[in-house]
Amino acid sequence: MSRWTMLGFAGLLLVAGPASAQYIGIFMDPNASSCGADVGPNPRIDLHVIAILDGSVTEFTGAQFMISGAPDTWTPQNVLWVPDVGTVISLGNPVFPTSMHPFTPGVNITFGDCQRSSTNARVPLGRVVLLGPPTADNVRLRVTWFDLVPTDPNCPFITDCSPGYPKVCVGGGEIVLNGPPPANCGVAVEERTWGSVKRLYD
């Protein structure tokens, strides 16, 4: 079995591991209490992208993820990505390809210092701002992963604050627009650092 096949298999193990409560979710409010939204003809709606850190990793310096499921009627002109005010770097767009990531949507976020979860374990990453785009019923947006470099894990991830900034897989949340909200706002993964698994096959 080749090294890259082994790495791919290890990435699948990360995604399929026991559930935990750490994920990047999409919510209707900054308190992360609702993952269902009635968009309708509203001229503007903010969807809040928030890291939920209810697991063992309670601090991080950045994140990498994409958001899948955007309708064809959405464009970079009527749907904007606005990073949180605490970020110092935001490269790309989680919903659309950009010159930074020309073949896939995706965003890389870095904070100026280590972000620690508050008592409610929520850290805002940014907002997807809908400027009245036509949106059909039962649109399901999901936080997922994209390949930036071959060594990235096949999962949304955050970078831990420990030396070397190891990549930690987290779950991907979802939100339903103009339809019944999902039973769970997030699908979590086992909390293991990608670096620790990758080293097994180096």
Contact partners, residue 87, CB within 8 Å, separation at least 6: 109, 110, 111, 112, 125, 126
Statement: residue 196 has pLDDT above 70: no
Q: What is the per-residue pLDDT for 42?
A: 82
Query: Distance between CA 100 and CA 125 in Å, rounded?
Result: 19
pLDDT confidence band for 134 (50 / 70 / 90): very high
User: 3-class DSSP state for residue 104?
Assistant: coil
- Answer for the pair 23, 60: CB distance below 8 angstroms, yes or no: no
Q: How many residues does the chain have?
A: 202
* Per-domain residue ranges of the chain: 21-201
Give the least confident one: 20-24, 149-153, 161-165.
Answer: 20-24
How far is the C-alpha of 202 from the C-alpha of 98, rounded, in Å? Answer: 32
- What are the φ and ψ backbone dihedral angles of 170, each rounded to 5 degrees? -130, 170
Q: How far apart are CA 64 and CA 168, in angstroms?
A: 10
CA angle, corner 85, sides to 53 and 155, nearest 5? Answer: 40
Structure-token pair, residue 181 = 């909200």
pLDDT band for 75, please (50, 70, 90 cuts). very high
Q: What is the CATH number of domain 21-201?
A: 2.60.40.680
